[in-house]
Chain A
Amino acid sequence: MTALLDRAPLGVAVRIARIDWTAMSDDEGRRLREFGLMEGCEVTPRHRGSIFSRDPLALTIGRMQVIIRAKQAAAIEVEAISGETGAA
């Protein structure tokens, strides 16, 4: 079962199933890959926005925390990691 990263619940680790690279500019796509956001890797959404807006989204990837906008997150399809709730 897949869902989009911008709707994924906070604090639950998920695996990136597919990224729609056409939904963003080349530079944005490259920066995502430089952060290590690629198909097959695990991310945990951590924090989302403030009272002003749902944007942006902070996530943990490996030992790094990165911030992206909901627009890019909406181009990232994620799937549950089987047998885990991923509290890490």
Chain B
Amino acid sequence: MTNPIPSIALVGNPNAGKSSLFNALTGARQKIANYPGVTVERKAGHASFADGRPISLIDLPGTYSLTPASLDEAVTRDVILGKQVGERRPDAMIVVVDAANLDNHLCFALELLALGLPTVVALNMLDLAERDGLTLDPARLSRELGVPVVPTVAVRKRGLPELLAAIDGAIQSHQPREAAAAPPNDAALHQRARAIARAATVDETPVRRWTQRVDQVVLHPVGGLILLVTLMFVMFQAVFSWATPFADGLEGLVGVMQSWVVDTFPANFLRDLVVEGLLAGVGAVVVFLPQILILFLFILLLEASGYMARAAFLMDGLMGKVGLSGRGFIPLLSSFACAVPGIMATRAIPDEKDRLTTILIAPLMTCSARMPVYTLIIGAFIPAQKVGGTPIGLQGLVLFGLFLSGIVGALLVALILRRSVTKGNATGFMMEMPRYQWPRAGDIVIALWQRAWIFLRRAGTIIAATTVILWLLLSFPKVPEDSALSQVEYSVGGRIASGLEVLVAPIGFNHDIAVALIPAMAAREVAVSAMATANAIDAGDDEEKMAEQLGERLQGKWSLATALAFLAWFVFAPQCISTIAITRRETNGWKWPLFMVGYLFVLAYAAAGITYWTAVAFGLG
């Protein structure tokens, strides 16, 4: 072998529990990147054999066969066949099959075995199969397949040492052999798979599965939808109420750090940069970490429990009406966390036009980067009271309304696009509905940690950099003592913003907003840090003013109509370079990202304008 560290690929059907097995084998020692040239996520990690020899593991996207139907399935095929650019062909495979669904999963396993690589089959989720009344004979299955079969329960870390020992053995004892012929056609393959599954099944007690009773409620034509809307509603209420104590704590911490720097160091350029630029700007964004994590927690739990596919089923009827499919629901729901992974998740949509439309409307889903803006403005302008004696908070309700506007806007845009620029046949919708599963805390923690890390890294790099640049632009030249203008208005940045203000004044935007809009192109949450920086500069060394929270300061300066128009703008505005960049990569050109930016700006301007004019007409100006 040329490389001393054997590389082992985890392959299997979707819902075979591959990722759990991968997490159990590698723990937190994993790295997520992209395959070069394609946007499919490459999950790699390290583990070691019992005697300490290291191995590298890669987790390949789940697929049903070696004939790919979508981009990520193509990556699985190419890696296994050694055709993927920049990826060594794996030395061995762990084929992961769901013990309770052998009939189906053995089809792909047989195809993989025919390739002739050293292979071990992980008979995964054996506990769930037993719960369903199945008794299996792994030794018999091993004889039928001609490779070692190791029973595993990834979520309880059962069978892992045995699995690693078996793969070690398979690599050591492997004789290069001609690839055996796979059964000639789909029907023969399925027959063979069913025959093997029957042979390996010792006993099958029909159990009236409770999951079917659950599905009677969850997939009920009316009840299921009510449940879905309720879940979404609870999710958005939770984002607001659960996060508050944590966010307040972080905010306090930033304040303490600012005071400490002010008290410790002499007043100079560097101190101002740190206090007004870095701490005010980055701090204003970091305090939203709790909210973003709560949102991700909900999405991850819905996904891991198997509910997400049910939601896709329920939404398919509605999405079909606007020319999309239920498949698009998962990328769109992920876009509530961030449009970038959401747009990447559209790769699972087989139909090209369906996929393109889903990409184009993904930025309308309220991503977590909008949360800082929404929370700041709602917190400052919407009273924290209950709606008419109910336990529903008005602030949460407004937030829910903003999310809803994004969704309704997205559906309308999809409807128009599917009748014009992305016209095409009605698309198909076929997907497997996974069984319900109790999400494993460890898997959720790993995924949450990865999201938190990405967010903090963004805050530390892009957001920190734009805040510093903005601070410089807003701090110079220094305003003369006798000027009626504030420092921010007098500065270079302030004058650029004054130019922009002419354009956005008709829709009720003031100078504060104009200052925030340009750097917010880098990332939406920078709108908040930009306003925080501008306010910190105006506050100068006045400790009392600095202690005043940003929201309170805005209350004094903005009318309610302006605040509402600002919220409406952010429902639609395409303000995030990462989203534009990922759209360019996913659509292979500039045509669609430019189209997206154009239509979103028009919508944002119109929505903010209509909101402002309506509010003014009702006397809120």
* A64 interface residue (CB < 8 Å to B): yes
How far, in angstroms, from A53 to B103 measured CA to CA in the complex?
32
Q: Which residue of A lies closest to B64 (CB)?
A: A34
Of the candidates B222, B309, B426, B429, the one having the most CB atoms from chain A within 10 angstroms of its own CB is B429
Contact A62 B350 (CB under 8 A): no
Contact B431 A66 (CB under 8 A): yes
Contact A53 B101 (CB under 8 A): no
- Please name all residues of chain B whose beta carbon is closer than 8 Å to the beta carbon of A25 when the two chains form the complex: 428
Q: A51-B225, A63-B100 are in contact. Are A56 and B316 (CB under 8 A)?
A: yes
- Please name all residues of chain B whose beta carbon is closer than 8 Å to the beta carbon of A36 when the two chains form the complex: 103-104, 107, 190
Q: What is the CB-to-nearest-CB distance from B196 to chain A, in angstroms, rounded to a whole number? A: 14
* A9 interface residue (CB < 8 Å to B): no
- Please name all residues of chain B whose beta carbon is closer than 8 Å to the beta carbon of A58 when the two chains form the complex: 215, 219, 313, 433
Instruction: Flag A65-76 by CB within 8 Å of B: 1 or 0 each.
Output: 111110110000
How far, in angstroms, from A20 to B222 measured CA to CA in the complex?
32
Q: What is the CB-to-nearest-CB distance from A8 to chain B, in angstroms, rounded to a whole number? A: 17
Contact A38 B186 (CB under 8 A): yes
- Please name all residues of chain B whose beta carbon is closer than 8 Å to the beta carbon of A64 when the two chains form the complex: 101, 103-104, 432
How far, in angstroms, from A32 to B318 measured CA to CA in the complex?
23
- Please name all residues of chain B whose beta carbon is closer than 8 Å to the beta carbon of A33 when the two chains form the complex: 186-187, 190
Contact A67 B430 (CB under 8 A): yes
Q: What is the CB-to-nearest-CB distance from B412 to chain A, in angstroms, rounded to a whole number? A: 15
Q: Which residue of A lies closest to B309 (CB)?
A: A67
Q: A50-B317, A56-B313, A64-B101 are in contact. Are A28 and B190 (CB under 8 A)?
A: no
Contact B186 A30 (CB under 8 A): yes
Q: A50-B225, A51-B221 are in contact. Are A28 and B433 (CB under 8 A)?
A: no
* B132 interface residue (CB < 8 Å to A): yes
Contact A67 B103 (CB under 8 A): no
CB-contacts of A29-88 with B (<8 A): 30-36, 38-39, 46-56, 58, 62-69, 71-72, 88
How far, in angstroms, from A23 to B219 measured CA to CA in the complex?
28
Instruction: Flag B61-77 by CB within 8 Å of A: 1 or 0 each.
Output: 00011010100000000
Q: Which residue of B lies closest to A27 (CB)?
A: B69
- Please name all residues of chain B whose beta carbon is closer than 8 Å to the beta carbon of A54 when the two chains form the complex: 317
* B224 interface residue (CB < 8 Å to A): yes
Contact A69 B101 (CB under 8 A): no
Contact B221 A67 (CB under 8 A): no
Q: What is the CB-to-nearest-CB distance from A88 to chain B, in angstroms, rounded to a whole number? A: 6
CB-contacts of B50-67 with A (<8 A): 64-65, 67
Choice from B100, B221, B429, B433 contacting A50 with Cβ under 8 Å: B221
Instruction: Flag B210-226 by CB within 8 Å of A: 1 or 0 each.
Output: 00100100010110110
Instruction: Flag B406-449 by CB within 8 Å of A: 1 or 0 each.
Output: 00000000000000000000101111110100000000000000
- Please name all residues of chain A whose beta carbon is closer than 8 Å to the beta carbon of B103 when the two chains form the complex: 36, 62-64
Q: Which residue of A lies closest to B65 (CB)?
A: A34
Q: How many residues of B sit at the interface, in one of the four size bands?
A: 35 or more
Q: What is the CB-to-nearest-CB distance from B305 to chain A, in angstroms, rounded to a whole number? A: 15
Q: Which residue of A lies closest to B206 (CB)?
A: A88
- Please name all residues of chain A whose beta carbon is closer than 8 Å to the beta carbon of B553 when the two chains form the complex: none
- Please name all residues of chain A whose beta carbon is closer than 8 Å to the beta carbon of B309 when the two chains form the complex: 67
Contact B432 A56 (CB under 8 A): no
- Please name all residues of chain A whose beta carbon is closer than 8 Å to the beta carbon of B429 when the two chains form the complex: 55-56, 67-69
* B321 interface residue (CB < 8 Å to A): yes
- Please name all residues of chain A whose beta carbon is closer than 8 Å to the beta carbon of B215 when the two chains form the complex: 46-47, 58, 65
- Please name all residues of chain B whose beta carbon is closer than 8 Å to the beta carbon of A47 when the two chains form the complex: 215, 219, 313
Q: What is the CB-to-nearest-CB distance from B263 to chain A, in angstroms, rounded to a whole number? A: 61
* B283 interface residue (CB < 8 Å to A): no
Contact B321 A52 (CB under 8 A): yes
Contact A67 B433 (CB under 8 A): yes
Q: What is the CB-to-nearest-CB distance from A65 to chain B, in angstroms, rounded to a whole number? A: 4
Q: What is the CB-to-nearest-CB distance from A37 to chain B, in angstroms, rounded to a whole number? A: 9
Contact B433 A65 (CB under 8 A): yes
How far, in angstroms, from A13 to B82 measured CA to CA in the complex?
43
- Please name all residues of chain A whose beta carbon is closer than 8 Å to the beta carbon of B107 when the two chains form the complex: 34, 36
Contact A67 B225 (CB under 8 A): no
Contact A71 B430 (CB under 8 A): no
- Please name all residues of chain A whose beta carbon is closer than 8 Å to the beta carbon of B350 when the two chains form the complex: 27, 31
Q: A30-B186, A31-B69 are in contact. Are A67 and B431 (CB under 8 A)?
A: yes
Choice from A27, A28, A51 contacting B222 with Cβ under 8 Å: A51
- Please name all residues of chain A whose beta carbon is closer than 8 Å to the beta carbon of B365 when the two chains form the complex: none
Can you sample 28 A-B contacts with CB below 8 Å? A27-B350, A30-B69, A31-B350, A35-B64, A36-B107, A47-B219, A47-B313, A49-B221, A50-B317, A52-B318, A52-B320, A52-B321, A55-B316, A55-B320, A56-B320, A58-B219, A58-B433, A63-B100, A64-B103, A66-B433, A67-B316, A67-B432, A68-B428, A68-B429, A69-B428, A69-B430, A71-B428, A72-B428
A-side residues, CB < 8 A to B, are: 24-25, 27-28, 30-36, 38-39, 46-56, 58, 62-69, 71-72, 88
B-side residues, CB < 8 A to A, are: 64-65, 67, 69, 100-101, 103-104, 107, 132, 186-187, 190, 206, 212, 215, 219, 221-222, 224-225, 309, 312-314, 316-318, 320-321, 325-326, 350, 426, 428-433, 435
Of all A-B residue pairs in the complex, the 10 with the closest CB atoms, nearest first, are: A53-B317, A52-B317, A34-B64, A65-B433, A33-B186, A47-B219, A52-B318, A62-B103, A50-B221, A56-B316
